[in-house]
Amino acid sequence: MTKAWTSNHLSRRSFGKLAGAAGLAFGASPGRFTAALADAPPDSAAIIMGKASGLTVHNAALGVMETPLAMLRKHDHTPKDILFNRLHFPHEGDAAWYATTAVPERPDWSIRIDGLVQRPRTVTLDDLAKMEQVKRVSVLQCAGNGRSYYAGKEKVAGGQWKNGGMGNVEWEGVPLRPFLESQKVLPGDGAHWLTAEGWDQPATPEGSDFAKSYHLADHALDNAILALKMNGEPIPATNGGPVRLIIPGYYGNMNVKFVTTLLFESQQSPSAFQSVGYRMPLSPVEPGQFEANDYTIYNSRPTYGHQIKSVIFSPLPEDKPKSGAIEITGVAFNDGTAKITSVEASADGGKTWQSADIKPPESPWAWYHWTAKAQLTAGNNVLMCRATDALGRTQPMDGLARWNPRGYEWNGVDRVEITA
Amino acid sequence: MRLTRLVPIVLLTLTSLSLTTNAERVKFDLPAGPGRDLVYGHCQTCHDLQSVVDSAGIRKGAWDAVLDNMKGFGLRITEDQRARILDYLGSYMGPNPPPTDGSSETVTAAEVSGKDVFNNTCIACHMEDGKGKPGEFPPLAGNTDLFLSPEFPALVVLNGIEGPLSVEGHDFNNVMPSFDFLSDSEIAAVLTYVRSNWGNDTLPGASTDHLTSDDIKAIRSKPMTATAVHESRAKLLK
């Protein structure tokens, strides 16, 4: 199959360069603001114990780091030492225990089920471990993954993520709905939301606690688990152990780490992480017309399921491929509610497209591996890929159409510029 | 959730040290300009300044929204401080930053107010009137560490401190970053202010022989790690 789409806009990476030349990007304006880092840049391995060296650090104090694609592509299941990381509060003092990929030593962990219920209950880690366990292989992806590419329209505040804020992870734990049923907490008629809260705490008393709420009618909860294992071992502390709520196909922040509390509630949580942060506007917005403080629960929605997305793993610019016949490889995924039916790849900036061979995924929420044949010409080549699913959902040719002031849910057609 | 956190805390004090040690806080230099010290003082309570550096170039309106959002995440500043931080970010970290000549908002020693330094910087964690926050930030009011030695509080301000502390019977285990961006005269002034107020002048060992900016300069010339400052405290307590 060959399709012709015109590509008359700059690639997002060219945009980035232009933005830098205009002094928009940090460090691109000599003499003004070049020596930002007083100390040597922190290495990922020194920030979270057990992490590999060489991850791209976005914030050391919050343990925020992403995986360079050259590391990510080596594994089908992303190992804990290279999986991207994102904590919401400083991993210091009382919270230092979760700044490690080691398994937390928290045998007395328990979860309180409370709220609009007749019989609140406390369930221990031992109780959970004795229950039926199921596996869920799912892509875990930061809602901000790809944020830096929105700079093609206007740079947005926050960590400038490329595509490495994702991984393909095997989780194992107790299915959520049967678990809640079995506890017989007897929710009242007014209970419409389930709120999950984690152990982590803000640094100041005025800060919002981390909490996420899900409508009880949300079908995604049918597949949710209270996970006790990640990639076959107890969940590493930094990944949310000993218990993490995993909703397969949902963006990372929806998968609450260090779960201590499940609340049946009439309303969603007032936590800023639910009501203001990690949200997408309900209709398209433009820079300057809708700012990051304009979000309400009425004009926006939480970052629920992954937007359909595909990413090129090979070749990357550092592979320095030669001209001639090549294979373009990568992964694709969505929220798991429909099969990905097509991945198309282009080596000429979108003039012609080849249908890629897609390998069946391990689960509806796992990533699909795909391969497409292409010809590289000597000089510059623009590689692109685009996934489509059985519901007809596909990636926008211009991801900037989904620009939003918090820079979430980037899923524009992926572009990699290669010199052969 | 706050209530449910109480139980795990007991255990983690036993296990956290064996699991990990924290990397020292990373320091970022921002371009010199009015309001920079407020950014240094307030924005690092929750995250390091890479968040600011990596966002450089966004519009003032976008910075304004960032400050609103940070309020929700726990930023505690007055309206006046907010306006000054926004002016700084919107200008020096905005789309068209002014050239900087390397000079900071230096004020002469005679003009420095210890109270202003406290309210612009220290209050972010140590709270109004130095009352602190139980479990996270030790109080400065009634804190006998202020007179542990003539130099000790200056060591903490210049180098930070990291490790478990017990103050007035309350336990703390957190990281204070270095505040060495404050000038010698600012540190001298704020130490005098803190040592003289909230009843601190009647603490055991209290002295009215305050550190001068020359003293601070001498202490600054011998940098230590935050962990070493914690160790020196333990020695002084013996």
Per the CB < 8 Å rule, is A405 touching B4? no
Would you give the DSSP letter of residue B211? P
Question: pLDDT truncated to tens, each residue of chain B (238 aa)?
Answer: 433 333 333 333 333 333 334 456 778 889 999 999 999 989 988 899 999 999 999 999 999 999 999 998 999 899 999 999 999 999 999 999 998 755 555 555 567 899 999 988 898 889 889 998 887 789 999 999 999 999 999 999 999 998 888 887 888 887 888 898 889 999 999 999 999 999 999 998 888 889 999 999 999 999 998 889 999 999 998 8
ipTM of the complex: 0.86
Per the CB < 8 Å rule, is A203 touching B75? no
Residue of B15, B25, B42, B47 to mutate, interface with A, max A Cβ within 10 Å: B47
Name the residue among A284, A277, A255, A264 with its Cα closest to residue A186.
Answer: A264
Residues of B in contact with A93 (CB under 8 A): 136, 172-175
Per the CB < 8 Å rule, is A204 touching B25? no
Residue of B1, B66, B175 to mutate, interface with A, max A Cβ within 10 Å: B1
Q: What is residue A134's predicted lDDT score, i.e. its pLDDT?
A: 98
- According to DSSP, the β-strands at A357-358 and A368-376 are antiparallel
The pLDDT of A193-208, averaged and rounded, is 93
Q: What is residue A328's predicted lDDT score, i.e. its pLDDT?
A: 98
* Helix (H) or strand (E) segment spanning residue B116: helix B114-117
Q: What is residue A236's predicted lDDT score, i.e. its pLDDT?
A: 98
CA distance A252 to chain B (A): 19
Query: From B165, which residue of chain A is nearest by alpha-carbon distance?
Result: A93
Q: What is residue B103's predicted lDDT score, i.e. its pLDDT?
A: 52
Q: What is residue B102's predicted lDDT score, i.e. its pLDDT?
A: 54
Q: What is residue A15's predicted lDDT score, i.e. its pLDDT?
A: 34
Cβ-nearest to B20 among A99, A108, A110: A99
Tokens of B154: 């200056």
Q: Can you tell me the distance from the alpha carbon of B105 to that of B107, in angstroms, rounded to the nearest whole number?
A: 6
CB contacts < 8 A, A to B, total 220
Q: How many C-beta atoms surround the C-beta of residue B185 within 10 A? A: 22
Per the CB < 8 Å rule, is A60 touching B63? no
Tokens of A126: 């031992």
Can you spell out the DSSP letters for A136-175?
EEEEEE-TTTTGGGGGGT---SS----S-SEEEEEEEEEE
> Cα separations (Å) of B79 from A189, A230, A382, B120?
43, 45, 49, 12
> Cα separations (Å) of B214 from B116, B185, B188, B221?
20, 8, 9, 11
Residues of B in contact with A49 (CB under 8 A): 19-20
